[in-house]
Amino acid sequence: MKGICILGATGSIGVSTLDVVGRHREKYKVIALTANNNIDTLYKQCLEHHPEYVVVVDEAKALDFKGRLADSTIAGIKVLSGTEALEQVATLDNVDSVMAAIVGAAGLLPSLAAAKAGKTVLLANKEALVMSGDIFMQAVSASGAQLLPIDSEHNAIFQCMPAGYKTGVQAKPVRRILLTASGGPFREMPLEQLAHVTPAQAVAHPNWDMGKKISVDSATMMNKGLEMIEACLLFNMKPEQIQVVIHPQSVIHSMVDYVDGTVLAQMGNPDMRIPIAHSLAWPERFESGAEPLNIFTVARMDFEAPNLERFPCLRLAYEAINVGGILPTVLNAANEIAVEAFLNEEICFTDIPTIIERCMSAFAAKPADSLETILHTDQEARGVSKQLIAELKG
């Protein structure tokens, strides 16, 4: 049996991961589950999966959780709190695989710790890789860790790569990657109406069941911008080799174009249990719980190029990776702050790319040559973004 630690167990990826693990209890033992403050869901997960460790980042919630466990049949679980505990459980000796599913910059340090410890890292946190770039990939190479992508698009690309492919290596027979995107809920909305979009509309994704932040990123297509940067790093490709393709049906999850003219596509229903099961079972395969694809129900598949006037966040992501250095870190930090402000109804939907672009212009290009530089840049960019939002509101 392999030991697994799930960072972000109560989010959509964490819940789906436990669903898959629960179908294969003879193969996986849950060693650790972590959550920020959703102790109700976490408690139910503990009752079912009996982890050895639990991390509740919020210290007050952790105390509440300890009290609840004391009066239960699972009182033996060790409860930790604080952000450092995330790194602790991700590097436990009896943990073989780490599902890195904490959303945003908060997932960087525990994901990086798992990589440095030589774990099999199932990466669902694209922001961690976008922020740290080469530093993360160097840690994977130095430790001999196995990095497997969980995002449906990157998992699809990985499946379409040559036999024996390892992330971080350039696949010479591959000419380009076709990175598919649904286009989100506003793909056909008149441009003049975008400024009046509400948070409730933005989080109502037409195909996928995701958290609020990722759903807004999908609506702005920043999600695809971050995925493009992630693809450059995971597959050692140049930005111009990553072509974003809008595919509203979300049946083809991405494609790989080979130099001989062959294009391989990975298809399936839009269910995150598919890439999760693939990575958990890799290099074998096992059942995920997802419904089989009915190609006759799909009936048709459409493709179109993204309109950068409608989706300026995608343009900003290409600009950030082409400049390189700290700019992807700035891009990610500014986006996280702007999306949070939008969800709190402090700014309008179309202000999100405005904040990001202004924040990026406030930073000179310099190398992202240390973790200290990355973390400092992240905090500085958040401060600049908050100031820009205050000026916009004022």
Vertex 117, ends 152 and 4: CA angle to 5°?
Answer: 55
CA gap 274, 277 in Å, rounded: 5
Q: Which residues pair with 254 in a beta bridge?
A: 266
Torsion of CA 40, 41, 46, 52, to 10 degrees: -90
Same domain flag for 57 and 187: no
CA atoms 129, 131, 134, 135: torsion sign: negative
Same domain flag for 241 and 386: yes
Same domain flag for 107 and 176: no
| Res. 14 pLDDT band, cuts 50 70 90 | very high
Q: Is residue 116 part of a domain?
A: yes
Residue 205: pLDDT above 70? no
Omega into 110 within 30° of 0, i.e. cis?
A: no
Same domain flag for 126 and 173: no
pLDDT at 57 (0 to 100): 94
Q: Is residue 26 part of a domain?
A: yes
pLDDT at 206 (0 to 100): 66
Residues 337-366 pLDDT 10s: 999 999 999 999 999 999 999 999 999 999
pLDDT at 203 (0 to 100): 87
Same domain flag for 320 and 375: yes
Residues 293-310 pLDDT 10s: 999 999 999 999 999 999
Residue 209: pLDDT above 80? no
When pLDDT is averaged across residues 92-105 and rounded to a whole number, the result is 94
CA gap 196, 124 in Å, rounded: 31
CA gap 330, 376 in Å, rounded: 10
CA gap 241, 42 in Å, rounded: 41
pLDDT at 37 (0 to 100): 86
Number of domains in the chain: 2
Q: Which residues pair with 122 in a beta bridge?
A: 99, 148
CA gap 22, 74 in Å, rounded: 18
Torsion of CA 49, 92, 273, 21, to 10 degrees: -30
pLDDT at 170 (0 to 100): 94
Report the percent of the chain where pLDDT is more than 70.
98
129 SS3 class: helix
CA gap 104, 91 in Å, rounded: 20
CATH number at residue 32: 3.40.50.720
When pLDDT is averaged across residues 19-34 and rounded to a whole number, the result is 97
When pLDDT is averaged across residues 220-232 and rounded to a whole number, the result is 96
When pLDDT is averaged across residues 321-344 and rounded to a whole number, the result is 96
**Residue ranges in 248-362 assigned as alpha helix (H):** 273-281, 295-298, 312-323, 327-343, 351-361
Domain boundary residue, one of 95, 115, 149: 149
Residue 16: pLDDT above 90? yes
Q: Is residue 339 part of a domain?
A: yes
Which is it for strands 2-7 and 97-100: parallel, antiparallel or unpaired? parallel
| Res. 207 pLDDT band, cuts 50 70 90 | low
CATH number at residue 254: 1.10.1740.10
Same domain flag for 38 and 69: yes
Judged by average pLDDT, the poorest of 73-82, 230-239, 252-261 is 73-82
Q: Is residue 200 part of a domain?
A: yes
When pLDDT is averaged across residues 94-98 and rounded to a whole number, the result is 98
DSSP state letter for 304: B
Same domain flag for 231 and 129: no
> Shortest CA distance to 34 belongs to which of 24, 42, 25, 22?
42
Report the percent of the chain where pLDDT is more than 90.
90
Residues 6+ apart with CB under 8 A from 340: 213
CA gap 256, 265 in Å, rounded: 7
When pLDDT is averaged across residues 267-273 and rounded to a whole number, the result is 95
pLDDT at 45 (0 to 100): 96
Q: Is residue 288 part of a domain?
A: no
Same domain flag for 124 and 237: no
> Shortest CA distance to 208 belongs to which of 194, 221, 198, 218?
218
Vertex 130, ends 278 and 333: CA angle to 5°?
Answer: 130
Q: Is residue 23 part of a domain?
A: yes
CA gap 303, 184 in Å, rounded: 14
Residue 146: pLDDT above 80? yes
Same domain flag for 123 and 194: no
Domain boundary residue, one of 118, 149, 180: 149
Q: Is residue 280 part of a domain?
A: no
Same domain flag for 265 and 142: no
Domain boundary residue, one of 102, 121, 149: 149
Same domain flag for 221 and 91: no
pLDDT at 71 (0 to 100): 80
DSSP state letter for 209: -
CA atoms 310, 314, 316, 322: torsion sign: negative
- CA 389 from chain centre, in angstroms, equals 25
Residues 46-68 pLDDT 10s: 999 999 999 999 999 999 999 99
Q: What mean pLDDT value characterizes the chain?
A: 94
When pLDDT is averaged across residues 311-318 and rounded to a whole number, the result is 97
Higher confidence at residue 27 or residue 211?
27
pTM to 2 decimal places: 0.93
The tokens describing 212, both together, are: 């609020």
| Res. 208 pLDDT band, cuts 50 70 90 | low
Residues 6+ apart with CB under 8 A from 232: 238, 239, 242, 321
Q: Which domain holds residue 344?
A: 168-270+304-393
Same domain flag for 101 and 20: yes
- Compute φ and ψ for 151, nearest 5 degrees: -45, 135
Environment class of 176 (CB within 10 Å of its CB; exposed 0-12, middle 13-18, buried 19+): middle
When pLDDT is averaged across residues 2-9 and rounded to a whole number, the result is 97
| Res. 175 pLDDT band, cuts 50 70 90 | very high
Q: Is residue 276 part of a domain?
A: no
The H or E element spanning position 5 is strand 2-7
